[in-house]
Amino acid sequence: MKKIVLKKGKEKPILSYHHWIFSGAIKEKPTLELGEIVDVYSEGGVLLGKAYTNPKGSLFARMLAFGNESIESALERAVIDAISLRKGLFDPTITNCYRLINGEGDRIPGLIVDRYDDHLCLQIGTMGIEKLKNLIVSLLLKHLEKINCIYEKSDLQTRHQEGLSSIETVLYGCLNSELKCLENGICFAIDMVHGQKTGFFLDQREMRQMVGLLSKGKTVLNCFSYSGGFSLYALKQGAMKVRSIDISKKAIELVEQNIELNGLSLQKHQGITQDVFEFLKSSLIQEDLVILDPPAFAKKKEHVIQACKGYKEINRQTISKMKKGGLLLTASCSYHVDENLFQQVIFQAACEAKREIKILSRHRLGMDHPINIFHPEGDYLKSLLLEVQ
């Protein structure tokens, strides 16, 4: 196996189990192919572990195994640990959809696996994991029970940065096009093929539950509603009226389908097909509780300034129109907009709207989306529950 040697002192993050090695940390390297696995050594000749490489990028390598452990052993141990964690978190009769493998959070950088009942949806973001795909699939099938389908939906932007095209295909079994899953006893129709992300926004489970608890007897406005996760929780917990807004007509139809699946009242729901920015400019907001959970505005670091303008605008418009004492749950899934910057944007929005704001709660991390304490960069989702005065 080829090897890379780190500069003096650059082994410290690896000794602290950080997964990333940047090109500036490399002292010696051979000619490498994209995704090639190498031994990683310190300048003093100590074997630090094994990593897969991207010799064209500033993020040169990602660690898969530390010390003397083999790639195969490290991957299998990571898969077993990830499965064991989720088994302890969820009763499948109540919740049978969750994130099974969360990249670096589960010690497999470049890999996302979401479970929807007896289906898995797999996303691969790097050439290194692409080359290990067959091994990963075999490990999932070896250690999981009752899996009828593994679907790959690798459409991540990071693939293109490594010269990989998008892949959407069945890797194992037969795909159920009418798949339905449970989350906290609420039934959702899941479309892994045409839906956003892997079919559902699993990372907002805890915040959906909080919205449900706050919704009894209240009116709710759910912006960027997609399949209606927040809307369903609100209706289930006794909201008087819910409006769901999404630019996609199919998304609004999916909200209504999910309402009917759960035997809830369509009379208490209004679906609006409209761009949320245009809606906020032209419409009144009379609801007691508003949810702003937009898609990522900053998919690259160079998009951060424009993204912050977008976050400030939708929050300014919303805050300026809300009733006194109204509650706003506002979120950002843009990795490059961190929690401090996001709060600063909300501060600016509140100042421009000339409204007083209180922070009542911050984001509640889903326990199936663990963040590796040695890899804090995995923390991307942030949200604030606010009271508007």
Q: Report pLDDT digits (tens) over 344-361.
A: 999 999 999 999 999 999
Q: How far apart are the first and last CA of the chain?
A: 63
CA distance 51 to 128: 9
Does the pLDDT at position 311 exceed 80?
Answer: yes
Question: Where does CATH 3.30.750.80 sit in the chain?
Answer: 71-180
Closest CA to 223 of 286, 268, 267, 279: 279
Structure token pair of residue 51: 């990593």
3-state secondary structure of 221: strand
Q: Average pLDDT, stretch 29-41?
A: 96
Round the CA-based radius of gyration of the chain to a whole number and report it. Answer: 22
- Give residue 122's pLDDT band: very low, low, confident or very high (50, 70, 90): very high
Amino acid at 191: D
Q: Average pLDDT, stretch 55-70?
A: 95
Q: Average pLDDT, stretch 140-169?
A: 93
Place of tokens 């009226």: 241
Question: Where does CATH 2.30.130.10 sit in the chain?
Answer: 3-66
CB 8 within 8 A of CB 51: no
- Give residue 106's pLDDT band: very low, low, confident or very high (50, 70, 90): very high
DSSP string, 167-204: EEEEEEE---TT-EEEETTEEEE--TTTSSTTSS-GGG
Torsion of the alpha carbons at 284, 287, 288 and 291, rounded to the nearest 10: -90
The predicted structure's pLDDT at residue 277: 93
- Give residue 192's pLDDT band: very low, low, confident or very high (50, 70, 90): very high
Q: Domain 3-66, what architecture?
A: Roll (2.30)
Closest CA to 287 of 215, 225, 351: 215
CATH superfamily name and code, 71-180: RNA methyltransferase domain (HRMD) like (3.30.750.80)
Task: Give the pLDDT confidence of 285-308 residue by residue, as tens digits.
Answer: 999 999 999 988 877 777 788 889
Cα 201 to Cα 7, 226, 282, distances in angstroms: 41, 9, 28
- Give residue 145's pLDDT band: very low, low, confident or very high (50, 70, 90): very high
CATH match of 201-388 with 3.40.50.150: yes
